[in-house]
A = this chain, B = another copy of it.
Amino acid sequence: MLVSEKTIERLCLYRRFLRELRVQRTTYAYSHQLAKMAGLTAAQVRRDIMAIGYYGSPVRGYEVEKLLESISDFLDGPDSLGVALIGVGNLGRSILAYLNRRNSRLNVTAAFDTNPEKIHRVIVSCHCFPLEDYPRVVREKNIHSTIIAVPADQAQPVADLIVKSGVKGILNFAPVHLSVPEEVFVENIDMAIALEKVTYFAQQDNKARAER
């Protein structure tokens, strides 16, 4: 089943909303309600849901619990997934705090740094290992994805280490393009570029539509 990157992203969003709805004891939701929450069109939502082969009822819409389960079955693999973080500076620590505080099953379970002062300390309930232990810990903790939060000039060697260790997903906060083999998925979060973009569009009084 081939689903586009954009659709995957939106499915993750819908899942978040569905969890909220479940908490509020809402049992059914229409595509236009989900669309409203996500800032999308109803047709888009229906298309995305179609992509995972779930079917709603034309009269009541989508059953929250069931749709949630379908999306999760689709997104989550069978095995539980470990996430590592490399680079325990300011940014790394706050990413760690941010992600591990959420209820998600995606928790960062191992951190790595080269700074001897950080090694073997526990940071936001996550043990910090020396970087050279990465390949071993990847095996032991079943790490599938790794977050890069090191300075720009160290990002490529770190990425090489990640790839060599067999990890296939990278979330990269360093402002550089990483060269990796094509079976490795890289998502870049470049805060400086994002801010420049916002500033550009803030100046244009704004015909260019966008926002997601």
Q: Is the CB of A45 closer than 8 A to any CB of chain B?
A: no
What is the number of residues of chain A that contact chain B, defined by CB distance less than 8 Å? 67
Contact present for B95 and A199 (CB under 8 Å) = no
**Which A residues, 161 to 210, have Cβ-Cβ distances below 8 Å to chain B?**
167-171, 175, 177, 179, 182-189, 191-203, 205-210
CB distance from A83 to the nearest CB of B (A): 7
Contact present for B169 and A185 (CB under 8 Å) = no
Q: Which of B13, B93, B187 contacts A90 (CB 8 A)?
A: B93
**Which A residues, 5 to 21, have Cβ-Cβ distances below 8 Å to chain B?**
5, 8-9, 12-13, 16
CB distance from A31 to the nearest CB of B (A): 15
Complex-state Cα separation, A99 to B90, whole angstroms: 12
Q: Is the CB of A53 closer than 8 A to any CB of chain B?
A: no
Q: Is the CB of A111 closer than 8 A to any CB of chain B?
A: no
CB distance from A212 to the nearest CB of B (A): 6
Q: Is the CB of A29 closer than 8 A to any CB of chain B?
A: no
Q: Which residues of A contact B (CB under 8 A)?
A: 2-5, 8-9, 12-13, 16, 37-39, 75, 77, 81, 83, 90-91, 93-95, 97-99, 102, 104, 106, 144-145, 147, 167-171, 175, 177, 179, 182-189, 191-203, 205-212
